[in-house]
Structure 1
Amino acid sequence: MTTSVVSGGTRGIGRALSLRLAALGHRVIALYRGDDRAAEQTEKAGEGRIATLRCDLTRPHEIQAVCDRITGEYGAPAVLVNNAGVNRDRPFLSMTAEDWDTVLATNLSGPFHLSRALAPVMVEAGGGGIVNVASTTAIRPRRDGANYCASKAGLIQLTKCLALELAPHIRVNALLPGFTDTDEVTERYRLDDPERLATVLDTIPARRLGTTDDMADALEYLVTARGGYVTGQQLIVDGGHFMG
């Protein structure tokens, strides 16, 4: 059975990605930081194909330990999805060193350490695919998000560098979601306010928010044979919100 690892794999987009890989027949190891209830619910929804492991991606020693456990119990993964991310939004002049360090450690250093720990065994086992979940704010800035935008921009460049260095054994791509209908996005942008939601929808040619299934569809393309000639690329899934 193919093994996949999804960081941040028990909530929001990450949960949908874990469930899609499970539906494709993968044994999924979903990493999470602290929400045990979400982890239990995701395992249950996976109907025996999803196992969850706690891991704080700001701690490289925890990452190495969980990767050693994964490879020891399940073997080399064929797919790694670096999805975990955090926001600490505030104006740049009010942003603290902790705000900066926590976001960069989770969103950029976390994928680096996970990829570095798992890529060698993936290559040895015959290769596979890595998908880094970035954001359209990696290529278009927004207010109060200097740390988040910088982390996701760095993740895109990390994607390209890994695609060069790990080829031809491992394909590495970035998935860039736009406004997606998750609890986190609704809360952060206050989209439960009909006026604010209408304002956002006016900027999206598709006139709707993305769904987590939209993101899972994109992931499925990137990790299956249909995307077998795609590496080092940015797949933007945002209903036309950003056209660069």
Structure 2
Amino acid sequence: MTTAVVSGGTRGIGRALSLRLAALGYRVIALYRGDGPAAEQTERAGAGRITALRCDLTRPDEIHAVSARITGEYGAPSVLVNNAGVNRDRSFLSMTAEDWDMVLATNLSGPFHLSRALAPVMVEAGGGSIVNIASTTAIRPRSNGANYCASKAGLIQLTKCLALELAPHIRVNALLPGFTDTDEVTERYRLDDPERLAAVLDTVPARRLGTTDDMADALEYLVSTRSSYLTGQQLVVDGGHFMG
């Protein structure tokens, strides 16, 4: 059974990505930091194809330890999805050094260290696909998110650099979700308020929020042979909200 690794793979978009890869026949290693109940629920939903492993992506030592465990027990993955991310939204003038460091460590350094740990064994095993989950705020700034926007913009540039250096063995692409119907997005943008939701939908030509299945559909394309000539690219899935 071919292995896939999904960081932040037990909640929100990451959970949908883990479940889709499991449905495609992968043995999925879903990394999580602290939500044990969500990890257990995702394992159960995966019907034996998903294993959740704890890893704090702000700690390179934990990344190297879990990567060694993955390769030792399951072999080299053919798919790596760098999905884990955090927000600490504040205005720039009130943003603390801790706010900045935590977001950059998770959203940008985490993918670097995890890719650096797993890419060599992926190359040795014949290659594969890395998909970095960025955000449309990587290319379209927003208020109160200088740390998050910068981290995701950096992730796009990291995607391009890895695509150059890991070719032709590993394809590396970025998936950029727009407004997606998850608990985290609802809370951050207060979309449980009908007026705020209506205001957001007015900016989206598709007139709806994205679903986690929309993102899983995009991931399925990016890891399949149908995208075999695609690397170093950004796939924006946002209902037309941003047209660059």
TM (norm. structure 1) is 1.00
Structure 1 residue 186, shift from structure 2 partner: 0.2
1 CA distance for matches of 2:242 and 2:228? 25
Query: Could you tell me which residue of structure 2 aligns to residue 198 of structure 1?
Result: 198
Partner of 1:178: 178
Whichever residue aligns with residue 16 of structure 1, its letter is A
Determine if the alignment matches structure 1 residue 142 to structure 2 residue 155.
no
- For residues 55 and 211 of structure 2, the distance between their equivalents in structure 1, rounded to whole angstroms, comes to 26
Quick one: which amino acid aligns to residue 61 of structure 1?
D
Q: Supply the AA of the counterpart residue of 1:233.
A: Q
Q: Which runs of 5+ in 1 are unaligned?
A: none
Unpaired runs of 5+ in structure 2?
none
1:91 to 2:98 alignment: no
Partner of residue 30, structure 2: 30
Distance 1:152 1:122 in 2: 24
* Structure 2 CA distance for aligned equivalents of residues 22 and 69 of structure 1: 20
| Shift, 1:227, TM fit | 0.8
1:69-84 paired onto structure 2 within 5 Å: 69-84=69-84
Alignment correspondent of 2:129: 129
Q: What displacement does 1:136 show?
A: 0.1
Shift of 1:166: 0.1
Secondary structure of 2:6's counterpart equals strand
Matched to 1:176, the amino acid is L
SS at match of 1:109: helix
Which residue of the partner structure matches residue 47 of structure 2? 47
CA distance in 2 between counterparts of 1:221 and 1:230 reads 10
Give the letter aligned to residue 202 of structure 1.
D
Instruction: Please tell me the residue identity of whatever aligns with 2:119.
Output: A
The equivalent of 2:66 in structure 1 is 66
AA partner of residue 110 (structure 2): G
Alpha-carbon deviations, 1:80-113, whole Å to 9, x = none? 0000000000000000000000000000000000
Aligned partner of residue 141 in structure 1, secondary structure: coil
Aligned counterparts of 1:104 and 1:204: Cα–Cα separation in 2? 28
Partner of 1:14: 14
Aligned residue for 1:80, secondary structure, equals strand
CA distance in 1, matches of 2:207, 2:141: 22
Alignment partner, residue 212 of structure 1: 212
Q: CA offsets, 1:49-69, max 9 Å, x none?
A: 000000000000000000000
1:57 is paired with a residue whose SS is: coil
Measure, in 1, the Cα distance between the counterparts of 2:9 and 2:227: 22
For 1:46, the aligned partner's letter is: G
Q: In structure 2, what is the Cα distance between the partners aligned to 1:177 and 1:103?
A: 18
Percent of matched pairs sharing the same residue: 89
Query: Secondary structure at 2:52's aligned position in 1?
Result: strand
Q: Deviations over 1:202-224 (max 9, x none)?
A: 00000000000000000000000
1:234 and 2:234 correspond = yes
Aligned residue for 1:162, secondary structure, equals helix
Structure 1 segments (4+ residues) deviating >3 Å: none
**Corresponding letter in the other structure for 2:105:** A
**Following TM superposition, by how much is the alpha carbon of 1:41 offset from its aligned partner in structure 2, in angstroms?**
0.2
Q: How many residues align structurally?
A: 244
**C-alpha separation between the residues in 1 aligned to 2:228 and 2:10?**
27
